[in-house]
């Protein structure tokens, strides 16, 4: 069964990303956000993982909350850079023991100034290795499942184990540290070969970036679904930070429209309009759904879905 669910509330499958909050007050706010996001019955809500494991406990808390309080599949981001095999194995077990069955396996980035390479970066050097490790650890924890046989007390049918769903990252405009132009496609192929069942893209600003990337990936042999990751950008400062983080060229029209808008509400509308347009264009081009970076707020991403015609508008989303 695919983690991308047939939608019931939305016209196409949707999913969201949130991050672990930094304080008790933002904890309560995130719980409200999760409840509102859950109302549109997304395929999953993913929870980021701080660089070098800095948020492991808090990420797991949020994942447990999603599992306990909603019917939405929680998807755990995990990074491996800097971890030994033993540490990574223990971490995966902890998440599996908490009932987490869906992961986004990431290489992650070494902290600034930390040495790269086998000594500085731990035993695992790529996301593909983490994909394999997650699958192996799950196979060891639950090699098979037992289904009770109705009417035969104490008897059980042994079934093949339910495999974990393992998503991986994809980069429509290449990874900023790629050493040759197609390295990000080769990396995606390696992750698919290792067992990944879904790719989620880094954010991008033009539908053609995503659509051309999907064509190149398909031509190279990538067959897993590639979900477009879309972020409504609602302020010039956030745009600057995102451009720095992802190494993408500044999207001129969006930058100008955000700059000239005098009010925060006006800038939010600009961000929603651009993101909704992007959603419509990638869906028209064949995207299997929409993954939205929610920044722990439901209003903007739900407004984006409403503007894109994916959910019915309400007073709150207009
Ligand atoms: P891999 O698949 O192993 O490599 C991807 C690419 O990295 C390769 O194509 C290669 O070109 C390039 N590369 C080459 N050399 C290096 C190098 N020295 N260092 C890094 N990359 C190199 N990070 C977090 O810490 N926590 C998160 O929760 C998180 N969530 C993310 C969610 C999504 C959807 C995406 C797209 C990214 C996320 N990241 C997160 C960022 C991610 O960890 C970084 O982009 C990381 O640099 C690459 O991870 P990967 O899994 O794609 O690595």
Q: What is the pLDDT of residues 21-44, one digit of tens each?
A: 988 788 899 999 999 999 999 999
Is the Cβ–Cβ distance between 192 and 225 less than 8 Å? no
H runs (alpha helix) in 73-126:
85-97, 117-120
Integer Cα distance of 217 and 211 in angstroms: 10
> How remote is the CA of residue 175 from the centroid of ligand 1, in Å?
7
Neighbours of 81 (CB within 10 A): 23
C-alpha closest to that of 92 among 132, 48, 51:
132
Residue 12 in tokens? 């196409």
* Closest Cα to atom 22 of ligand 1: 177
287: tokens are 């995207």
Q: What lines the ligand 1 site, CB under 6 Å?
A: 48-49, 51, 77, 79, 104, 106-109, 116, 126-127, 169, 175, 177-179, 183-184, 187, 191, 200, 202, 229
Q: Calculate how far, in angstroms, residue 109's C-alpha sits from the geometric centre of ligand 1.
A: 7
> How far, in Å, from the CA of 281 to the mean position of ligand 1?
26
pTM of the model: 0.92
Measured between its terminal Cα atoms, the distance across the chain in Å is: 35
All structural domains of the chain, each given as residue ranges with its CATH number in brackets, are 14-146+161-317 (3.20.20.220)
Q: Which residue bears the tokens 């302020």?
A: 235
Cα 33–Cα 36–Cα 37 angle in degrees, nearest 5: 85
For residues 40 and 56, give the distance between their C-alpha atoms in angstroms, rounded to a whole number.
Answer: 27
Residues in the chain with pLDDT < 70? 1, 52-53, 112-121, 143-144, 160-162
Task: State the Cα–Cα distance between residues 180 and 66, nearest whole angstrom.
Answer: 39
Question: What three-state secondary structure class fits 271?
Answer: helix
Using CB atoms within 10 Å of the CB of residue 149, give its burial: 0 to 12 exposed, 13 to 18 middle, 19+ buried.
Answer: exposed
Continuous segment of H or E residues that includes residue 144: strand 144-148
Ligand 1 atom closest to the Cα of residue 127 is: 3
Q: What is the DSSP letter of 308?
A: T
Residues 6+ apart with CB under 8 A from 25: none
Give CA torsion, residues 69, 71, 72, 74, to 10 deg. Answer: 60
Residue 143 pLDDT: 67
Residue 10 has what pLDDT?
94
Tell me the backbone φ, ψ of residue 74, rounded to 5 degrees: -85, 135
Please state the atom number of ligand 1 nearest to the C-alpha of residue 19: 28
> Residue 248's pLDDT is what?
85
Residue 305 and residue 110: Cα distance in Å, rounded?
Answer: 35
Cα separation of 83 and 106, whole Å? Answer: 12
Longest Cα separation, the chain: 72
């Amino acid at each position: 069964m695919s983690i991308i669910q047939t939608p019931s509330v939305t016209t196409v499958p949707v999913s969201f990303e949130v991050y672990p909050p930094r304080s008790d007050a933002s904890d309560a706010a995130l719980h409200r956000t999760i409840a509102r996001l859950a109302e549109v019955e997304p395929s999953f809500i993913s929870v980021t993982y701080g660089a070098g494991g800095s948020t492991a406990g808090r990420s797991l808390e949020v994942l447990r909350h999603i599992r306990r309080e909603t019917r939405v599949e929680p998807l755990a981001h995990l990074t491996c850079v800097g971890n030994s095999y033993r540490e990574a194995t223990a971490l995966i077990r902890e998440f599996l023991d908490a009932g987490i069955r869906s992961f986004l396996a990431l290489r992650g980035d070494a902290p600034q100034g930390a040495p790269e390479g086998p000594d500085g970066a731990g035993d695992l050097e790529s996301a593909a290795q983490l994909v394999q490790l997650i699958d192996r650890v799950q196979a060891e924890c639950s090699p098979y499942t037992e289904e009770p046989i109705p009417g035969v007390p104490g008897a059980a049918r042994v079934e093949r184990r339910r495999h974990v769903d393992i998503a991986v990252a994809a980069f429509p405009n290449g990874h900023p540290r790629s050493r040759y132009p197609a390295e990000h496609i080769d990396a995606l192929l390696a992750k698919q070969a290792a067992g990944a069942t879904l790719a989620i893209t880094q954010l991008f600003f033009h539908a053609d970036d995503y659509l051309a990337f999907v064509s190149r990936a398909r031509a190279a042999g990538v067959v897993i679904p590639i979900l477009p990751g879309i972020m409504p950008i609602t302020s010039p400062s956030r745009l600057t930070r995102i451009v720095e983080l992802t190494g993408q060229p500044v999207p001129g029209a969006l930058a100008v429209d955000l700059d000239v808008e005098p009010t925060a509400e006006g800038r939010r509308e600009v961000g929603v309009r651009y993101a909704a347009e992007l959603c419509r264009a990638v869906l028209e081009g064949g995207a299997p759904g929409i993954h939205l970076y929610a920044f722990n707020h439901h209003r903007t991403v739900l407004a984006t879905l409403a503007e894109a015609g994916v959910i019915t508008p309400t007073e709150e989303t207009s």
